[in-house]
Amino acid sequence: MSTLKSFLISITLILVLSNTCLSQTSDLQTKSNSLNNWVEMMKDISVNFYDVKDAATKHFETYGTQKGSGWKQYKRWEYFMEQRVYPTGIRTYQTQIWDEVTKFNKEYRNDNKANRNSWTTLGPDYSSNVTGHWSPGIGRINVITLEPGNPQTIYIGAPSGGLWKTTDEGANWVSLTDNQPVLGVSAIAINPTNTDVIYIGTGDKDANNNYSIGILKSTDGGTTWNTTGLDWTIYQNRSIAKLLIDPNDNNTIFAATSAGLFKTTDAGETWNQLLNGNIDDLEFKPGDASTIYAITTRFYKSTNGGDNFTEITDVPHSSRAQIAVTEDNPDYVYFFSSSSGIYRSENSGDSFTFRSNQPTPGNQSWYDLAFAVSHENAEEVHLGEFNTWRSTNGAQSWTLTTDWTWGNTIGYTHCDIHEMVFFGGTLYVGSDGLISKSTDQGNTWTDLTEGIGIRQFYRIGTSKNDPYKIMGGSQDNGTSVYTTDYWHEWLGADGMECVINYDNSNIVYGTSQNGNFYKSTNGGNFGNVSISQPGGGNWITPFVIHPTDPETLFVGSSEVMKTTNGMSSWTTISEFGMGNLNNLVIAESNP
């Protein structure tokens, strides 16, 4: 009887555990489907802006807005887009921008050089002078590549800052695309036998800050650029995720794009489409360029140089994924599904086995997801989404290698990882703030970013009485202060509106997203003054300073809030009752 009872108890436990696992899997699938729904709507410019907003709002109401949820990344897009759509929600602004830039360049062709030379870059192009910032950086980096045979020469592509190059491993950087109408770069390929020949994939693959005009080609090391046969307009609303040059034939190039997988055999003159869909990653089998791996959310393999592809069905396909290969074992293919974990093939992608769950599954993989395997050790695997992680046993277990907070004891590469790539045994990481490298499996990191000017500012503030006092609030790189001739990093998060007291430029005010306010009386140099918060507001909460009384400020929250004592207390002076305010202006003629 006891044996039967034990048997029945065991069966019951198995059923309970099975149902629990099935329920968890179902919940994850439902969450993934909800995420994919609004993300795909966001990326499709034909979808009405307000429909995207409704779908995203419902998703975050259900699953929360905590750190790592993707909410902050969505709100950046929402803020940027809402100002640029028609009142009906139709999104056609990109075509108008393109037409106006083209018109301007034609009309003022002879004056452009003079106009450009009248501007001086102020920065910031370094973030090492930290005076309160909790996550300092320079700007988002989408792609990193090294010049073949020369590790001192590095190229990076930024979503709004274009292509940058260093020939001394980060000691000095120069921009190569300032004169291009589209400044987003998400893919780079360099001819290994003639490194003056460079291809770039334009646009922003991760957040659609810039749409692609196709692939550009330079034959003089990036001094000048020309279009190729993959020549798009921003009307087509596409992006390019990766470019690979066939190591056996430099004229053969593969392009992973949101419109499919393309191939050229004549160095970019003409292109043929090999696969449909949004191709998010692409790899050759090391040592055998006729074997190609490509993914949408699904995994495809070709053994004849891309003439035919076969879908491999034993990996999940419900969410964004990345792949990685290694020269140390060319038969290995790692597959990283953002919602279903890490898989490995030991037979060149013909079949896969599950290795482990993602160490910290989040909901912003549509924005940041990166994956790499060492070419010197096939068991050393690295992945990144919010932070970076390392496995030394073939993705079976994971160790945290960086933390997003400045000054931590683990390692720092900034948060939100967009690129991880090995060159030999050296790992390079591109994040929302930095390009970093590690030569010791991610135990220590070197920042190579100083000198790159790719900051994405929301707002800047200047002093009326001191022309050398400037502040700026930026995307994921907080609030920086410029004093006389140097920058220092004051606040973290997304830096927003900022104001300088015109009677005393050491009194500065800053905000982060949704109206979190800060005040310093020493110019943002360590330590903030205790203030009273006026209440939350929009993504960028507007605030202004009174033109004759610098202790009086106004904030546009759900109502207009007023302080007469430098933010020690607040009074509500409106009764609009219509939601958060977008803009606030004082008439200086009658304040």
Q: Lowest-pLDDT range, 85-89, 113-117, 325-329, 507-511?
A: 113-117
Q: Is 214 left (phi over 0), alpha (psi -120 to 50) or beta?
A: left
The answer to whether the CB of 352 falls within 8 A of the CB of 363 is: no
Q: What is the pLDDT of residues 252-278, one digit of tens each?
A: 999 999 999 999 999 999 999 999 999
Amino acid identity of 449? T
Amino acid identity of 355? R
**199 pLDDT higher than 90:** yes
* CB-based burial label for 253 (10 Å; 0-12, 13-18, 19+): buried
- Tokens of residue 362, six digits: 């989040």
- Give the mean model confidence (pLDDT) for residues 46-67: 91
pLDDT-derived band at 113 (thresholds 50, 70, 90) equals low
Q: What are phi and psi for residue 489, nearest 5 degrees? A: -100, 110
Q: What is the pLDDT of residues 553-588, one digit of tens each?
A: 999 999 999 999 999 999 999 999 989 999 999 998
* Of 164 and 99, the one with more pLDDT: 164
pLDDT of residue 112: 55
Under DSSP, the state recorded for 204 is: -
pLDDT-derived band at 237 (thresholds 50, 70, 90) equals confident
**329 pLDDT higher than 70:** yes
pLDDT-derived band at 118 (thresholds 50, 70, 90) equals confident
- Give the mean model confidence (pLDDT) for residues 202-210: 86
pLDDT-derived band at 10 (thresholds 50, 70, 90) equals very low
The answer to whether the CB of 532 falls within 8 A of the CB of 568 is: yes
Amino acid identity of 305? G
pLDDT of residue 25: 44
The answer to whether the CB of 167 falls within 8 A of the CB of 156 is: no
The answer to whether the CB of 176 falls within 8 A of the CB of 220 is: no
Report the DSSP pairing between strands 341-345 and 353-356.
antiparallel
Residues 6+ apart with CB under 8 A from 442: 382, 388, 390, 401, 402, 411, 427
* CB-based burial label for 583 (10 Å; 0-12, 13-18, 19+): exposed
pTM: 0.90
The answer to whether the CB of 285 falls within 8 A of the CB of 293 is: yes
- Tokens of residue 17, six digits: 């555990």
Domains of the chain: 20-119 (no CATH), 280-454 (2.130.10.10), 457-572 (2.130.10.10)
* Of 414 and 319, the one with more pLDDT: 414
Q: Which helix (H) or strand (E) holds 163?
A: strand 162-166
Written as one string, the DSSP assignment of 210-238 is S---EEEEESSTTSS-EEEEEE--GGG--
Q: Lowest-pLDDT range, 144-148, 206-210, 571-575?
A: 206-210
